[in-house]
Amino acid sequence: MKYQFPENFWWGSAASGPQAEGIYEGDKKGESIWDHWYEEEPEKFFNQVGPEKTSRFYKKYQEDIQLMKQTGHNSFRTSIQWSRLFPDNTGKVNQVGVDFYNAVIDELIEKDIEPFINLYHFDMPMWLQEKGGWLNRNTVEAYTLFAKTCFELFGDRVKKWFTHNEPIVPVEGGYLYQFHYPNEVNMKHAVQVAYHEVLASAKAIKIYHEMKLDGEIGIILNLTPSYPRDEANPEDVKAATIADAFFNRSFLDSAVKGEFPKDLVDLLRAISHLPETEIGDLAIIKENTVDLLGVNYYQPRRIKAEESDEKLAQGPMPDDYFDNYVMPGRKMNPYRGWEIYEKGIYDILTNLRENYGNIRCFISENGMGVENEERYINKEGVVEDDYRIEFVKDHLAYVHQALQEGSNVQGYHMWTCMDNWSWMNAYKNRYGFISVDLNQEGKRTIKKSGHWFKEMTSQNGF
C-alpha cells in the first residue's frame, strides 16, 4: 500500500533547549531547576550525566541544521530556555542568549526549515523556583513577560509558537510522582500548579493575538488515551474516564474549549482540592484558546477499576480512582518500559475530530528510545535502526488513515533530531535520527532512519 501525504505536510523533529543546548563559559545563562538538581543530587541522573553535557547544539547548531536538511526536515521545533533569556530576577535580558536564538532562527529559515518555537519545556529558572515556581501566582506574570519578550524579539520571523510542552508533566513529576524537581507528593499543590500553567498559557495567547503578529500560537500536549480493561464493565469505563480527566482533558479542554472538564472540577470540589483563583481568570481562559494543537504520543494508558488498597501518599492522589492494567500480549519497548500501540495515534486524532471541533493539529512528538544502539553500528559506522523506521511507518499508517477520514492533522515531528539528554535518564535511551558520540566531542552520524526519513519526506509518503 502507498501512503501519500498532503503537499506542505510538516515533516521534521522536535527537541528542547535544556535537552540539546548545553552550558558554556560566557553564555551568561542562569540556573534552571535541572542545573540545580543535578548539582544537588548527580547520582539521580543516569551515569551522572548532567544538563551541562547535553548535545552541544549551542556550539553545533549550524552543523545540526545542515544535518536536518540532509534528513528531510522542512520544520523543526525547539524551545527557548527561560533561564537563558532571563538569567536572574533583575528583568534584564541576556543579550548573549538573544544573539544565539536569533542565529538559530535565521539559520533554520535560510535552510528552508520552519522554526516552531516553544516557550516552556519543564525548565523553571531557579530564581523563580525559590519563590515557589508554578505554585506562586507571580510566576504567571513572570511567564507572560518572558512570552511577550520572545514575541517581540523573534515574532517577526517565527510564525509557529507554543506556550508549553506537556504541561501535565511538571504536575506529575514535580508534585505527584517525584521525577521532577521539587519532588513533592502533594495533590493540592499539583492542582494549583496545573491551574497556573493553564492561566499562563491563556495570558500568553492573549498577548500574542493583541500584538497582531502574523503567525499562530498553540500548546503541545502529551495525549495518552485511557483504555478501560473491559468496555462492557461500567466500573472500568468510569475509572478510565477519570484517568482521562486528570491526565488528558485537564489541559486539552482548557486549551481548546477554554473550560475545565466538569467531572474533574466536581471531583476536586468533593475533596476540597479546587485551586485558588482570581476574578476574571476563567474569562481569560475561555477567550484565549489555541490556534493550533501539538500532540505528543508515545503510549496508551490501560485502566481498570480500583482494586488495590495500596495508598501512594498520605493525602488524595489521582490513583485513588483507578488502577493501571497490564494488558496480556501487549507489544513493548523493553528499554523504556512503554507499550507500543500504534492505533492510539489514530484514536487521538479521531477524538480531536469528533469532540474538539477538528482543531488544526500535528503530531509534535512520537519516538522510540533504545538503549545501547552501538550494537547496531555497521562497518560504515552507521546505526542500522530498522526498528525505528518500522515504528515511524506503523504510526504514520494510522496518521494517514485519520487524514483519509477528515482529520485536520498537518504534520509529523519525530522525537528527536540528534540523540539528546533526557532529564534523569540522560543518554540512557537514544531517540535521534542522528547519533551523538559523547566520547568524541559529540560527533554526529546520520542513522539509517535519518536517511530513510529524507527519502520518505522527499516523496511525501512511503
Centre a 10 Å sphere on the Cβ of residue 90 and count the other Cβ atoms it contains: 8
Q: CA-CA distances (angstroms) from residue 251 to 104, 194, 265, 295?
A: 30, 8, 13, 12
Q: Is 384 a catalytic residue?
A: no
Compute the distance between CA of residue 415 and CA of residue 345 in angstroms, rounded to an integer.
15
191, amino acid identity? V
- Phi/psi for 231 (5° steps) reads -60, -25
Q: Which three cell numbers stand for residue 220?
A: 503541545
Instruction: Judge whether 319 lies within some domain.
Output: no
* Tens place of pLDDT per residue across the chain (462 aa): 999 999 999 999 999 999 999 999 999 999 999 999 999 999 999 989 998 888 899 999 999 999 999 999 999 999 999 999 999 999 999 999 999 999 999 999 999 999 999 999 999 999 999 999 999 999 999 999 999 999 999 999 999 999 999 999 999 999 999 999 999 999 999 999 999 999 999 999 999 999 999 999 999 999 999 999 999 999 999 999 999 999 999 999 999 999 999 999 999 999 999 999 999 999 999 999 999 999 999 999 999 999 878 787 888 999 999 999 999 999 999 998 899 999 999 999 999 999 999 999 999 999 999 999 999 999 999 999 999 999 999 999 999 999 999 999 999 999 999 999 999 998 999 999 999 998 888 999 999 999 999 999 999 999
Tell me, what's the pLDDT at 54?
87
**Which range marks the domain in which residue 367 is found?**
10-225+235-298+327-459
Question: HSE on the CB side for 182, CA within 13 Å?
Answer: 16
List the one residue out of 408, 394, 403 whose CA is nearest residue 366.
Answer: 394
Tell me, what's the pLDDT at 246?
98
pTM (2 d.p.): 0.97
Q: CA-CA distances (angstroms) from residue 332 to 122, 268, 392?
A: 27, 34, 15
Strand 409-415 and strand 361-365: pairing? parallel
Centre a 10 Å sphere on the Cβ of residue 200 and count the other Cβ atoms it contains: 25
Tell me, what's the pLDDT at 75?
98
Instruction: Judge whether 293 lies within some domain.
Output: yes
Among 365, 373, 441, 455, which one carries the catalytic annotation? 365
Residue whose cell numbers read 559529540 = 442
At 398-430, the pLDDT tens digits run 999 999 999 999 999 999 999 999 999 989 999
List helix spans (H) across 112-186: 126-129, 138-154, 168-175
Instruction: Judge whether 307 lies within some domain.
Output: no
At 179-228, the pLDDT tens digits run 999 999 999 999 999 999 999 999 999 999 999 999 999 999 999 999 99
Residue whose cell numbers read 492522589 = 317
Number of domains in the chain: 1
> 362, 412 in Cβ contact below 8 A?
yes
Give the helix, strand, coil percentages of the chain, each rounded to 5: 45, 15, 40
Instruction: Judge whether 321 lies within some domain.
Output: no
Q: What is the CATH number of the domain that holds 119?
A: 3.20.20.80
Instruction: Judge whether 305 lies within some domain.
Output: no
Bridge partner list, 363: 295, 412
List the one residue out of 154, 235, 180 whose CA is nearest residue 33.
Answer: 180
> 447, 389 in Cβ contact below 8 A?
no
Instruction: Judge whether 421 lies within some domain.
Output: yes
Q: Which three cell numbers stand for residue 450?
A: 535519518
- Phi/psi for 262 (5° steps) reads -60, -40
98, amino acid identity? V
> 288, 205 in Cβ contact below 8 A?
yes
Instruction: Judge whether 248 lies within some domain.
Output: yes
Instruction: Judge whether 322 lies within some domain.
Output: no
Please name the residues in contact with 346: beta carbons below 8 A apart, sequence gap of 6 or more: 398, 399, 401, 402
